Amino acid sequence: MTVAPAISLLASEHPGAREAVIELENRYGRVAPEKADVLVVLGGDGFMLHTLHEHAELDLPVFGMRLGEVGFLMNRYAPEDLPERISAARAVTLNPLRMVCETKAGERFEALAFNEVSLLRQINQAAHVRIVVNGRERLERLVADGVLVATAAGSTAYNLSAHGPILPLGTEAVVLTPISPFRPRRWQGAILPAKAEIELEVLQPKRRPVSATADYDEVRDVSRVWVSLDRKIGPRLLFDPEHSLEERILKEQFLIPDG
């Protein structure tokens, strides 16, 4: 006889989430995250990202069910047969990006990003950024609204809106994508090995201030940012076999715009 997992229910503020928690708790019970075998997340992708950041140190599998606006990282919501769905789910390991940044005042900050690290201009003037990969200068000066580094999981988020390429999950790579580039106008970014160490130097940081954001953690007035994949951290997202993240990424690449 298979023992049902101890489930911790984590819900967003989305309408219906509280009712869903009550129904699931009545069916399967509920424990604190520290005593759980699996985290069940109810909400959208934003709340999933918050949960991954909040509970990364627990190293528990995470099964999401959509009760929000965007649910790329979520399974469909259904209260029935939850332990069986968790048992049959496919696991996908998500390694985050680690951002280390230095401000023009000399302060240092670190943060993790499961989707992307993005640099954005703070005023009306374009950002000027020098790009170095593994210690070698690759772009002397990018003039743009900004630039981002995305994981495979994050390649369908902000990166896709910035016209960056989609990476199938499991690809040993990250995406470097300019945001509204002005010079060099034809540069569309690069796909880099997952082991790449990226340095983004803000040129003229006083005259052209730039902020750096790792998912939802923002640092203002940065002068230099280092980005690399952190393989020591890797939460496992669980997906129903018929709704795997790999399949969603493949479908996204074949979407044809209306008209």
Tell whether 45 is in a known binding site.
yes
CA atoms of 67 and 76, how far apart (whole Å): 8
Tell whether 157 is in a known binding site.
yes
Catalytic residue selected from 45, 59, 81, 258: 45
Tell whether 95 is in a known binding site.
no
Give the gyration radius of the chain's Cα atoms. 20
Tell whether 46 is in a known binding site.
yes
Tell whether 159 is in a known binding site.
yes
Q: Left if phi > 0, otherwise alpha if psi is -120 to 50, otherwise beta: which for 158?
A: alpha
Sign of the four-CA dihedral 239, 242, 243, 247: positive
CA atoms of 210 and 128, how far apart (whole Å): 9
**Are residues 65 and 45 in contact, defined by beta-carbon separation less than 8 angstroms?**
no
What is each CA distance from 50 to 31, 39, 47, 211, 231, in whole angstroms?
Answer: 19, 13, 5, 21, 19
Alpha helices in the chain (DSSP H): 17-28, 45-55, 82-88, 158-161, 245-253
Active site residue 45: yes
Tell whether 81 is in a known binding site.
no
Tell whether 158 is in a known binding site.
yes
CA atoms of 11 and 239, how far apart (whole Å): 18
Tell whether 50 is in a known binding site.
yes
Tell whether 75 is in a known binding site.
no
Active site residues: 45
Query: Which residues are documented as binding site for NAD(+)?
Result: 45-46, 50, 115-116, 145, 153, 156-161
Query: Which residues are documented as binding site?
Result: 45-46, 50, 115-116, 145, 153, 156-161
